[in-house]
């Protein structure tokens, strides 16, 4: 699903973060991680790569980041700093996820900087776009592996069929769902025209905003039908016992 996406770690200083980054990447079906910089202690990284030791073992290391990035159609630098010498505009993770999805089969590299200093101006200049993860001013910087997790999650959701969720029902099915609910409420004597617009209009607007799926709409219909059925049985039992 994300075979065209690679995670690139530029000058990571903590091997345990590399292990955690491998795990975060694999959880989003990204299995290729590249480390640019000095060799790292794989033994120290392994405990944090639970379930993704295969990704850790397959890491490609390089001391020539410009050459490696030259093979990609899209190179995204993850940074919270913009400016004249950096990128004037940065994408939100969800915006970038759509770019990465639509770039397939062109290859996409996501470049993460050093834990202490992030991406240098030179490293960011190798990227053709910047991505910034919104954070609170009181703690604006994320751990490297956490940043990898956030970006990879957004990529995974965007790449999933229908954004990872079933398509919402259309107006015709909303109307039939509302008719079923209102009919059930009418059967138990509940007022269905209260308020300036009435209950049917209210429910139609509510379900439209909620983006109900077909399965959800059917469950709501069954719920109200069951309530009406139980009421009728209770009413008959009460009549028989009088």
The CA distance from 231 to 188, in Å, is 6
Q: Which tens digit of pLDDT belongs to each residue from 99-144?
A: 999 998 999 999 999 988 889 989 988 998 899 999 998 988 889 9
What would the DSSP string read from start to end of 18-53?
A: HHHHHHHHHTTT---EEEESS---HHHHGGGGTT-H
What local confidence, expressed as pLDDT, does residue 189 receive? 81
- Measured in degrees and rounded to the nearest 5, phi and psi for residue 168 equal -70, 155
pTM exceeding 0.85: no
What local confidence, expressed as pLDDT, does residue 4 receive? 94
Helix, coil or strand: residue 70: coil
The CA distance from 177 to 196, in Å, is 21
In CATH, 5-164 is 3.40.1280.10: yes
Q: Which tens digit of pLDDT belongs to each residue from 48-75?
A: 999 999 999 999 999 999 999 998 999 9
Domain with CATH 3.40.1280.10 in the chain: 5-164
């Amino acid at each position: 699903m994300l075979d065209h996406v690679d995670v690139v770690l530029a000058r990571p200083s903590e091997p345990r973060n590399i292990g955690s980054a491998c795990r975060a990447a694999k959880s989003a079906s990204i299995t290729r991680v590249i480390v640019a910089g000095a060799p790292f202690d794989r033994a120290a990284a392994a405990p944090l790569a639970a379930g993704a030791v295969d990704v850790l073992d397959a890491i490609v290391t390089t001391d020539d980041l410009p050459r490696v990035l030259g093979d990609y159609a899209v190179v995204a630098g993850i940074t919270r700093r913009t400016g004249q010498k950096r990128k004037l505009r940065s994408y939100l993770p969800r915006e970038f996820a759509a770019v990465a999805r639509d770039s397939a089969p062109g290859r996409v590299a996501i470049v993460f900087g050093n834990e202490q200093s992030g991406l240098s101006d030179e490293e960011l200049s190798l990227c053709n776009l910047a991505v910034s993860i919104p954070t609170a001013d009181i703690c604006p910087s994320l751990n490297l592996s956490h940043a990898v997790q956030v970006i990879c999650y957004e990529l995974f959701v965007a790449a999933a069929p229908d954004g990872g969720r079933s398509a919402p029902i259309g107006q015709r099915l909303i109307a039939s769902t509302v008719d079923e609910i209102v009919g059930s409420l009418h059967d138990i004597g509940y007022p269905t025209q209260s308020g300036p617009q009435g209950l049917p209009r209210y429910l139609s607007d509510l379900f439209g905003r909620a983006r109900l799926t077909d399965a959800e709409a059917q469950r709501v219909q069954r719920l109200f039908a069951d309530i009406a059925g139980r009421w009728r049985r209770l009413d008959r039992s009460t009549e028989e016992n009088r």
